[in-house]
């Protein structure tokens, strides 16, 4: 994992440095960060990230060009989440890989899951830029003043002595300027940002609020609670600074299973014929999901079966996971499922769960607190007839899973940035 840079960071790490980093992220977001930020960025080679990008694109293309899969995926969407005029193809796709070291010593990815749902396109940019600043590779400024006409946005300042081209947190040849422009085109399109809203259930209570604030700072898209949307016939509106403003496009961040659990009020039915465009529609949340995994043919995909297709549960239970298809953030996963766990799922609901062979991720990130596992999300957006990888998101952990509940009380775990460089880049003092 670019060992010289890893060792350099470990040797120079201090608690003051970590506090400065978390302070910079919090200042840039403008709101408290309610999830754990790892003490360290991760230094990855260009070759490793390219292999993950290629795998993500191959898997996504397989699914979207498979007519049988598309038919089955259409059928799995619950009736109430079928949009009258949704996306022909998902705008946003995320593919998550855990890192493993093979017998040959090479590092590869193993698919964890994939989803056609927006991710932290705003916050991860802020996190990565602050990580670069903290490592002395690049400097960023944080200001409440207007920058290029956008209030509160953070921006790069003069590079510090180290070569600012050593690392990048972006993929596909993007830099910060081209990334923000691509995401502006993706999210806002030809509309006035005032006519595009980020729709969520009570956005200010969500842990993803820092992403919402950076999204508004950078692209002008305001977070909006579902209850703030006003319907008049086929059109939707909201009050922006007291003015009734039409909504032309919804950047949807409402997770269907949270909507079901919370019973949050919606001012419209997803099936209604509305004069509005969608990004991240709820129908694609189901079509590209854990439901997709048994359909993918790729050596990095662990053995996975729909529970409805399993006639005999494998004897080596400790090597298997039982997963509900449509839970979010790892909810409902059962390790080493027992007969009772399986019997508790009604037969007519077993097509909504998968039995998956467990993959032991390799702790490949050496930190002062011990070797740590890493899970990388390749964040992609639709461009032309395909998907462009734009940025990786990293989660670090030493528990059974990467989530907070499995890593309580541990250091050097949590959300991190991938800093991508060449394998043999020398350190310059």
- Is 347's pLDDT higher than 60? yes
Mean pLDDT, residues 51-72: 97
| Nearest of 389, 420, 394, 393 to residue 61 by alpha carbon | 389
Cross-strand pairs, 250? 197, 278
Q: What is the pLDDT of residue 404?
A: 54
Task: Give the pLDDT band of residue 154 (cuts 50, 70, 90).
Answer: very low
Average pLDDT value for residue range 327-354 = 85
Residue 236 has pLDDT above 60, yes or no: yes
Q: Flag whether pLDDT at 409 surpasses 90.
A: no
What is the mean predicted confidence (pLDDT) over 376-405? 88
Lowest mean pLDDT, pick from 75-84, 181-190, 353-362, 415-424: 415-424
Residue 71 binned pLDDT confidence (cut-offs 50, 70, 90): very high
What percentage of the chain exceeds 90 in pLDDT?
Answer: 72
Cα separations in angstroms, 61 against 79, 93, 117, 327: 26, 11, 16, 24
Better-scored residue on pLDDT, 154 or 256: 256
Which residues, including other chains, have CB under 8 Å from residue 152's CB and lie 6 or more apart? 30, 143, 144, 145, 217
Report the interhelical angle of 15-29 vs 123-134 (nearest 10°): 150
Q: pLDDT at position 313, please?
A: 81
pLDDT band, very low/low/confident/very high, at 403 (cuts 50, 70, 90): low
Please tell me the predicted confidence (pLDDT) of residue 188: 97
pLDDT score of 161 more than 60: no
The arithmetic mean of pLDDT across residues 379-388, rounded, is: 96
CA separation for the pair 245, 39 (Å, rounded): 42
Q: What is the pLDDT of residue 1?
A: 64
C-beta of residue 193 within 8 angstroms of C-beta of residue 102:
no
Helix 123-134 crosses helix 209-219 at what angle (to 10 degrees)? 90
- The answer to whether 214 touches 206, Cβ cutoff 8 Å, is no
Q: Which two tokens stand for residue 106?
A: 């090479």
% residues pLDDT > 70 (the chain): 87
Using N-to-C axis directions, what is the helix angle for 46-64 and 67-76, rounded to 10°?
A: 80
The whole-number pLDDT of residue 166 equals 80
CA 418 to chain centre: 13
Per-residue pLDDT, 125: 97
Confidence of residue 145 (pLDDT cuts 50, 70, 90): very low
Q: Label residue 65 by pLDDT band (50, 70, 90).
A: very high
Residue 246, H or E segment: strand 243-246
Q: What is the 3-state secondary structure (H, E, C) of 81-125?
A: HCCCCCCCCCCEEEEEEEEEECCCCCEEEEEEEEECCCCCCCHHH
Confidence (pLDDT) at 146: 33
Mean pLDDT estimate for the chain: 88
pLDDT at 339: 87
What is residue 322's three-state secondary structure? strand
pLDDT value, residue 4: 84
CB atoms within 10 A of CB 120: 21
Over the stretch 173-231, which tens digit does the pLDDT of each residue have? Answer: 999 999 999 999 999 999 999 999 999 999 999 999 999 999 999 999 999 999 999 99
pLDDT of 34 higher than 60: yes
State mean pLDDT over 334-358: 90
Burial of 158 (0-12, 13-18, 19+ CB in 10 A): exposed
The 10s digit of each residue's pLDDT in 246-299 is: 999 999 999 998 998 888 889 999 999 999 999 999 999 999 999 999 999 999
What does pTM read for this prediction?
Answer: 0.89
pLDDT interval class at 428 (50, 70, 90)? low
Burial 67-79 (b: 16+ CB within 10 A, else e): eebeeebeebbee
- The pairing of beta strand 235-240 with beta strand 243-246: antiparallel
pLDDT digit string (tens) for 349-376?
999 899 999 988 999 999 999 999 999 9
Is residue 407's pLDDT more than 70? no
pLDDT at 160 over 60: no
Mean pLDDT of 99-108: 93
- The residues, ordered by sequence, that sit 6+ positions from 247 with a Cβ below 8 Å of its Cβ are 195, 196, 197, 229, 235, 236, 237, 238, 276
Is the distance from CB of 240 to CB of 246 less than 8 angstroms?
no
């Amino acid at each position: 994992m670019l060992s010289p840079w890893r060792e350099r960071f470990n040797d120079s790490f201090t608690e003051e440095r970590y506090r400065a980093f978390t302070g910079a992220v919090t200042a840039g977001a403008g709101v408290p960060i309610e999830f754990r930020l790892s003490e360290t960025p991760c230094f990855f080679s260009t070759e490793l990230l390219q292999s993950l990008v290629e795998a993500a694109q191959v898997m996504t293309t397989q699914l979207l060009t498979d007519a049988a899969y598309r038919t089955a995926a259409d059928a799995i969407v619950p009736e109430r989440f079928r949009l009258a005029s949704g996306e022909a193809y998902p705008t946003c796709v995320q593919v998550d890989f855990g890192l493993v070291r093979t017998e040959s010593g090479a590092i590869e990815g193993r698919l964890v899951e994939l989803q056609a749902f927006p991710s932290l396109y705003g916050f991860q940019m802020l996190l990565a830029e602050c990580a670069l600043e903290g490592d002395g590779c690049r400097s960023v400024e944080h200001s409440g003043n207007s920058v290029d006409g956008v209030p509160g946005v953070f921006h790069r300042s003069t590079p510090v002595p180290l070569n600012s081209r050593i690392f990048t947190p972006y993929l596909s040849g993007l830099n910060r300027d081209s990334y923000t422009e691509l995401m502006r085109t993706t999210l806002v399109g030809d509309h006035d940002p005032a006519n595009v809203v980020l729709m969520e259930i009570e956005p200010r209570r969500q842990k993803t609020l820092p992403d919402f604030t950076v999204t508004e700072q950078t692209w002008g898209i305001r977070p909006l609670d579902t209850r703030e949307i006003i319907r008049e016939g086929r059109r939707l509106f909201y009050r922006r600074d007291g003015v009734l403003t039409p909504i032309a496009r919804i950047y949807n961040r409402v997770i269907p299973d949270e909507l079901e659990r919370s019973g949050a009020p919606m001012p419209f039915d997803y099936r209604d014929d509305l004069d509005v465009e969608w990004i991240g529609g709820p129908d694609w949340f189901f079509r590209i999901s854990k439901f997709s995994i048994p359909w993918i043919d790729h050596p990095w995909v662990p053995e996975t079966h729909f529970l409805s297709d399993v006639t005999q549960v494998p004897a080596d239970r400790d090597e298997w996971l039982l997963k509900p298809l449509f839970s979010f953030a790892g909810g409902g996963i059962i390790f080493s499922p027992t007969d009772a766990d399986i019997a508790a799922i009604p037969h007519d609901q077993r097509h909504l769960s998968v039995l998956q062979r467990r993959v032991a991720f390799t702790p490949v990130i050496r930190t002062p607190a011990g070797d740590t596992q890493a899970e990388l999300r390749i964040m992609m957006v639709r461009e032309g007839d395909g998907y462009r990888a734009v940025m990786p998101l990293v989660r670090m952990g030493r528990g059974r899973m990467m989530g907070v509940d499995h890593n309580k009380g541990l250091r050097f775990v949590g959300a991190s940035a991938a800093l991508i460089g060449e394998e043999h880049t020398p350190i310059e003092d």
